[in-house]
Structure 1
Amino acid sequence: MIPARFRLRKTIILSMVCLLASILVSFLTTSAKTEYPYYIKVNKQQNVVTVYKKDKKGEYTVPYKAFTCSTGVDTPLGVYKTPAKYRWKLLMGDVWGQYSTRIVRGILFHSVWYYQMDATTLSAAQYNKLGTAASHGCVRLTVADAKWLYDNCPLGTTVEIYNSKDPGPLGKPETMKLLPGTGWDPTDPSKDNPFNHKTPSISGVSNKTIDWGTQVNLLSGVKALSTSGTDITGKIQIEGTVDIHTAGKYSVKYTVTDLLGRSAEKTITVTVNNMKEPPVIKGVSDRVIDSDTVVDRAFALQGVTAYLSSKKLSNKDIKVAIKKESDTVYTITYTLTAQNKKKAKEVATVSVDTTAPVMTGIEFKSLTKKQWESGKEAITALARKGVKVTDDYSKLAAKDIKVSLKANGEYAYIVTYKASDQVGNTASESVQFTYFPDIKLEGIYHHMNIPYHTEITEAYVMQGVMAVNSNNEECTDLVKVIIKQVDERLYKVTYQVPGPNDSVISVSCNFSLAEKTEEESEKGATEHNTEAPDGNQEQEGDSSKTE
């Protein structure tokens, strides 16, 4: 017979076994039926918690939420399933955490710790470390984030702790900072939380009045504080702009939102006074153009800009009046009335330049043997001596003349001079520099503006021309002249003298007739009308005989 005390002990043991079996069966049954909507990943290196939810295939691939946390050196890497939860939990160091969820062994998700099991005793210093490694191994969160895990992630939810430089697909959220001595977590949903009745604030804003064109810093002296009292001035957003170059009243709205999603706003009026100074039109100057340039508004406004103080005005506001004074002169008048009713006026003259520059000092030259043998560079320098250029409008100097040499036979260079003014009118003239080994020609030059009815004969073109031999004896009778009429008014005259070894040395110049004068034109017409054909004369004679 079994003693009574042993029967009692046996009964207790059997009861405990049955209870444990019942709990185990219940847990297994519950686990089989429980759905786990979320998968939690903790990036220990970056101190970020990312919560994933299922995609259409039932896999945890959709990032849903991200929390900034504080892990520690002893936070273990690996994959775990949450086994327990605690509304308040005594932590290492005789401190407390809210909304704790166990991950594995002594590692939990929990709020930043409190000195007591009292929501007013939060460690503000530890709270401000969120986002950095600061715990003994647990994963610290704000109260709001810890509570979300506590409320939404059932026991058995998978937690993966890993290391990565990448904070995660949702990044690393910014965390609110607390002032020293703050005892409440601003995110705590408790109805007793004093932060429930607080909002951000904006200070230092007020209506402003500025003078026209004066720069204004809309953030000068402005400060914003978060719900927790920390400086968030850098988060201020400004709506509205102030055109300091347009008088009027402008509405400017300041808005700031803190990490709790709470906002503050203020609106001011900025008044810009009217400008007292008149506008100015810059870039207006007298200009010289060629005959192909069209003088219109677009041309007139090239390089022209209007300003009201430092503000550049639109050229559309400039009125342009173009007056043609003559075929070669325009007057352009610019007028402008600014928004302050002040006016500006500028006038410029545009001249049409159709005349090429005038070069002087260009001559045919006879070269000595030494000069001839000195080379093209020295002869070019010789060609420049005494040559000048002038123009009606452009400021030209001798250096603006281009000089080129081209060989013309064995003993000569054709020297060409060219000069262009600012609009492209170009003057060009060519002469010959000649080395005469035996017989030298003198007195040759271009003849211009010869009276129109002058007859260009050998006798005429030989006037002033002389030939001398190496003994300085005149031998003009050896000169041969060739006259070629190029057009109605231009003749090319070539002088030839004997050279060494039966060669011929030639020098050519131009004889140019002037245009007919009105008197010469009338005289020519009269002579043409009075000179009747021979047949008409005979008819007149016959007629007189009949009478």
Structure 2
Amino acid sequence: MGKSRKKRTSPVAALMMFLFFVVIVGGVFLFAIARPTATDEGIDVNFVLHVTPTPVPTPTPTPEPTPTPTPVPTPTPTPVPTPTPVPTPTPTPVPTPTPAHVAVELPYLIQINKKAQIVTVYTLDEDGMYTIPVKHMICSSGYRHGKLPDGLYPLKTKYEWKLMLDGTYAKYASRITGYFLLHSVPYESKNSNDIFLYKYRQLGENVSSGCVRLLCKDAKWIQDNCPEGTPVRVVTGEEMPELKQQLLDAIPELVKGYGWDPSDPDPENPIHYAEPDATPEPTRVPWVTPNPDQYDWSKEVKRD
């Protein structure tokens, strides 16, 4: 026997069956979710559809940036002014009474050291004695010490030019006693440009006939600062090598072609060697007068 063929289901029948199935399932679902309510009129069926909402995600808040704090400037302290110290008042010193000023007619004493060939000028101390040396001068005195005797003589007449016994001339001469004078190095004539050059170079040696030769500047200083009556003390004395060498080194050099003493303060001197005079004031005690006890005048030398 042959196998019977299976009958094919038509597409329409299949569709109808599917729709029927959907209706049955839908009815069951609706009944299951319905909430029947009993009333006088019968049973009232309410259908409540529960819809679970899709949860909305909570938005994450955007963090706000932390504001950077504005720096508060540290206030600069106002400087407190330092109080100005009040100076302690200095008491006004009571001035020491000054003795009445007495003009000093004879502020200096001239001492001639024949052995050392140095002339020293002294001024007064507080007791009125000539003990303070203020000036030293190189000199040339007599080749025989006894020519000008030791002693104390008042200074006498002054001369701008003086004719000497040997026919030479001396400038800025001041008489000591007799024929003995303090004066410049001799000149051949009464002309400031005519000095004996070799005699100028002999300063510091015992070579004169008895007078005391000096640099022009020193002879002129005596004329200008030592009035007549100034005591002149002549002593044989002692050697003073260190001081003498200093004075010799300070003698101005002669200038070739000129017969002038370079130290001569004569305004016409073309080679005047001007050096500052460090001689102090005539006396540091101007109200003191010379003490007469120191004067023991010697006998004057006669002019033969």
Q: TM-score, normalised by structure 1?
A: 0.29
Residue 261 (structure 2) aligns with: 185
Contact 1:124/1:181, CA 8 A, preserved across alignment: no
Unaligned runs of 5+ in 2: 1-102, 277-304
Determine if the alignment matches structure 1 residue 54 to structure 2 residue 127.
no
- The one-character-per-residue Cα deviations of 1:90-125 (angstroms, maximum 9, x if unpaired) are 012111111100000000000001111111111111
Residues 1:184 and 1:152: Cα distance change in structure 2 (over 3 Å): same
Contact 1:124/1:182, CA 8 A, preserved across alignment: no
Determine if the alignment matches structure 1 residue 129 to structure 2 residue 202.
yes
TM alignment of 1:367-446, pairs within 5 A: none
Instruction: Quote how far apart the aligned CAs of 1:83 are.
Output: 1.9
**1:182 aligned counterpart, secondary structure:** coil
Instruction: Quote how far apart the aligned CAs of 1:79 are.
Output: 1.4
Residues 1:46 and 1:191: Cα distance change in structure 2 (over 3 Å): same
Determine if the alignment matches structure 1 residue 67 to structure 2 residue 137.
yes
Whole-angstrom distance in 2 between the partners of 1:57 and 1:168? 31
Residues 1:171 and 1:53: Cα distance change in structure 2 (over 3 Å): farther
- The one-character-per-residue Cα deviations of 1:408-450 (angstroms, maximum 9, x if unpaired) are xxxxxxxxxxxxxxxxxxxxxxxxxxxxxxxxxxxxxxxxxxx
Q: 1:101 aligns with which of 174, 180, 200?
A: 174
Query: Which structure carries more strand by proportion?
Result: 1
Instruction: Quote how far apart the aligned CAs of 1:191 are.
Output: 1.8
Contact 1:75/1:136, CA 8 A, preserved across alignment: no
AA of the residue aligned to 1:149: I
Flag the structure with larger Rg: 2
Structure 1 segments, 4+ long, off by >3 Å, are 168-172, 179-182
Whole-angstrom distance in 1 between the partners of 2:257 and 2:149? 32
Contact 2:138/2:244, CA 8 A, preserved across alignment: no
Contact 1:38/1:54, CA 8 A, preserved across alignment: yes
Contact 1:124/1:180, CA 8 A, preserved across alignment: no
TM alignment of 1:263-282, pairs within 5 A: none
Q: 1:114 aligns with which of 170, 187, 198?
A: 187
Residue 107 (structure 2) aligns with: 37
Residues 1:177 and 1:131: Cα distance change in structure 2 (over 3 Å): farther
- The one-character-per-residue Cα deviations of 1:54-83 (angstroms, maximum 9, x if unpaired) are 112211110000000000122322211112
Contact 1:50/1:168, CA 8 A, preserved across alignment: no
**2:198 aligned counterpart, secondary structure:** helix
Instruction: Quote how far apart the aligned CAs of 1:178 are.
Output: 2.5
Residues 1:101 and 1:88: Cα distance change in structure 2 (over 3 Å): same
Contact 1:44/1:71, CA 8 A, preserved across alignment: yes
Residue 146 (structure 1) aligns with: 219
AA of the residue aligned to 2:252: M
Contact 1:66/1:171, CA 8 A, preserved across alignment: no
Whole-angstrom distance in 2 between the partners of 1:168 and 1:160? 21
- The one-character-per-residue Cα deviations of 1:219-243 (angstroms, maximum 9, x if unpaired) are xxxxxxxx7xxxxxxxxxxxxxxxx
- Percent identity over the alignment is 39
Determine if the alignment matches structure 1 residue 78 to structure 2 residue 159.
no
Residues 1:56 and 1:187: Cα distance change in structure 2 (over 3 Å): same
Instruction: Quote how far apart the aligned CAs of 1:34 are.
Output: 7.0
AA of the residue aligned to 1:157: T
Contact 1:43/1:164, CA 8 A, preserved across alignment: yes
Instruction: Quote how far apart the aligned CAs of 1:46 are.
Output: 1.1
Residue 297 (structure 2) aligns with: none
Residues 1:183 and 1:109: Cα distance change in structure 2 (over 3 Å): same
Instruction: Quote how far apart the aligned CAs of 1:182 are.
Output: 3.5
- The one-character-per-residue Cα deviations of 1:307-351 (angstroms, maximum 9, x if unpaired) are xxxxxxxxxxxxxxxxxxxxxxxxxxxxxxxxxxxxxxxxxxxxx
Contact 2:252/2:263, CA 8 A, preserved across alignment: no
Instruction: Quote how far apart the aligned CAs of 1:38 are.
Output: 0.3
Contact 1:83/1:156, CA 8 A, preserved across alignment: yes
